[in-house]
A and B are shown apart, each in its own frame.
Chain A
Amino acid sequence: MTAETIIQSLASGLLMGLLYGLIAAGLALIFGLMDVVNFAHGEFLMIAMYATFFLFAFFAIDPLLSAPLVAAALFVFGAVVYLLIVRFAVRAKANAGMVQIFATFGLAIVMRGLAQYFFTPDYRSITHSWLGGKTLSLAGVFLPVPQLFGAMTAIAAFVVLYFFINRTDFGRALEATREDAGAVALVGIDKNRVFALGWGLGAALVGLAGAIMAIFFYVYPDVGASFALIAYVTVALGGFGSVFGAFAAGIIVGLVEATTALILPPSLKSVGIYAVYLLVVFIRPRGLFGSL
């Protein structure tokens, strides 16, 4: 193992980790806002990837251009999921926790089933996109351009999100709803509106990630599953509900994954991530940046 291979893996791990952070951000946002885990998060990613794929296949719209469209479409989708499903699930009089879990879990299964039916289980990929297959060489380290673009988008998304949450009225309403959803009506805020927009925002973030991932990853109905699992680990590691914790944890997960791949055979590359996760659960169950 040379120094170059180590740097090379860490660099790719960092790029992938930033993208993991972006995928996990929406999950953390929704969880922090209303204590609901969206078990269909991976399927949100999956439909974003399909949307990007079809926009490319049918209309020749490059993922770079369709990414904002896909994010906007996912925003609407997330808000609709809240208004049509989650809003009623959280009102359950008995076993509210279970009802919430099965509502989003059921949604995940339905979405996967529909994708298999309409899109077939075939693996699809976007060929000849503007960035696809290109690499950039930086001081001897080769960086795949799509992943580099994804990483930069993730950073930009987090910067925008930071200002949005800390500097705007709606961000303040989001924080207030997170603190005490029952109290926002006292200042005239409709908590259902905040929840719907929160779901929209969370879905838009994973939509953005999906659009970029479609450039370099196969698109198939089950694609969300493995990424969603990583996202849950990332959110737990970052501290449940902490959006910026998820960002930091995403980087850690990417680096750990890359390091594991250096040491263990490729088929065991996920072992490191889950080992770190278990360590966090045992030593610091509220996560690295959690404030429970």
Chain B
Amino acid sequence: MLSVREVTTAYQGLVAISQVSIEVEKGEVVAVAGANGAGKSTLLKTIAGAERPRSGSITFDGARIDGMAQHLITARGIAFVPENRRLFPRLSVRDNLRLGSYLYRSQADREAPLELVFKLFPRLSERLDQRAETLSGGEQQMLAIGRALMTRPRLLMLDEPSQGIMPKLVDEIFQAVRRIRDTGVTVLIVEQRIAECLDIADRAYILQTGRLQMQGTSSEIKSNPDVRKAYLGL
């Protein structure tokens, strides 16, 4: 479904990811793990179109999307929840969600994903008229994922959804990711919490200083001695 081939992205001459290739098949949850500064966020931003790759190619459902404008990539069915969430802080929860379905014209199309969003995150339905900025960190993350689901994506990309969230909610969010996958949405997730992330992912890639270090099924990665030592603290 998504195929990233030998992509290199640089900021002002500084290479953030180098020759990275990953594949995501329909219906999978794929994790990209690694330490801080490994280039995980850059990889997602490059796929989403927020950064342009210097070389390499990205294809989504058979069409090249590298170099395409970010809003067009969203329209093609890739929803991106960035690290800092980028909600519209002074707009209400309802308006944030409604903006998610901006691409659709018919009322039915626009409201269809709402049921799923409220089922995943019931507390959002209780806070519809609140400004997004008044939500807690965890609720903001839920809203960001909810807004992304409103675009009715085929691929959902999450950048560090557990960041800055109390532990109880982290669990809720990881559970939600599984349930989102069960509705047929493919998920590509970037995390520093490698252990929890491997629990919900089918496959994983490990990035280190901008390069792909390892890849495999979650259980392969989990049982790899290097990973156990370096990332899982076992």
Interface, chain A (partner B; CB < 8 A): 169, 172-173, 175-176, 179-180, 182-191
Contacts and interface: CB of A to CB of B under 8 A. Distances in A.
B8 interface: no
Interface string B68-81: 01111011000111
B49 interface: yes
A188 B88 contact: no
A231 to B, nearest CB: 25
Contacts of B81: 186
Contact of A172 (B69, B82, B95, B103): B95
A188 B50 contact: no
Given A172-B99, A176-B99, A188 B71 contact: yes
Nearest to A183: B86
A186 B153 CA distance: 11
Contacts of A175: 88, 91, 95
Given A173-B102, A175-B91, A179-B90, A187 B50 contact: no
Contact of A186 (B86, B89, B90, B98): B86
Nearest to B96: A176
Contacts of B72: 190
A186 B82 contact: yes
A185 B88 contact: no
Contacts of B52: none
B70 A185 contact: yes
A183 B151 CA distance: 14
A190 B99 contact: no
Interface of B: 49-50, 69-72, 74-75, 79-82, 86-91, 95, 98-103, 147-148, 150-151
A179 B151 CA distance: 19
A180 to B, nearest CB: 6
Given A173-B102, A186-B79, A187-B101, 9 more contacts: A176-B91, A179-B90, A184-B99, A185-B50, A185-B69, A186-B148, A187-B74, A187-B150, A190-B71
Most B Cβ at <10 Å: residue of A173, A175, A186 = A186
B151 A188 contact: yes
A169 B98 CA distance: 9
Nearest to B95: A172
Contacts of A189: 71, 99, 102
Contacts, number: 66
B95 A184 contact: no
A179 B89 CA distance: 7
A188 to B, nearest CB: 4
Nearest to A175: B91
A263 to B, nearest CB: 41
A190 B49 CA distance: 13
A185 B49 contact: yes
A187 B150 CA distance: 8
A180 B85 CA distance: 11
B17 to A, nearest CB: 21
B104 to A, nearest CB: 9
Contacts of B148: 186
Most A Cβ at <10 Å: residue of B49, B70, B89 = B70
28 contacts: A169-B98, A169-B102, A172-B91, A172-B99, A173-B99, A173-B102, A176-B88, A179-B89, A180-B89, A183-B86, A183-B88, A184-B71, A184-B99, A185-B49, A185-B70, A186-B81, A186-B82, A186-B86, A186-B148, A187-B74, A187-B101, A187-B102, A187-B103, A188-B74, A188-B102, A188-B151, A189-B102, A190-B71
A185 B102 contact: no
A108 to B, nearest CB: 31
A196 to B, nearest CB: 14
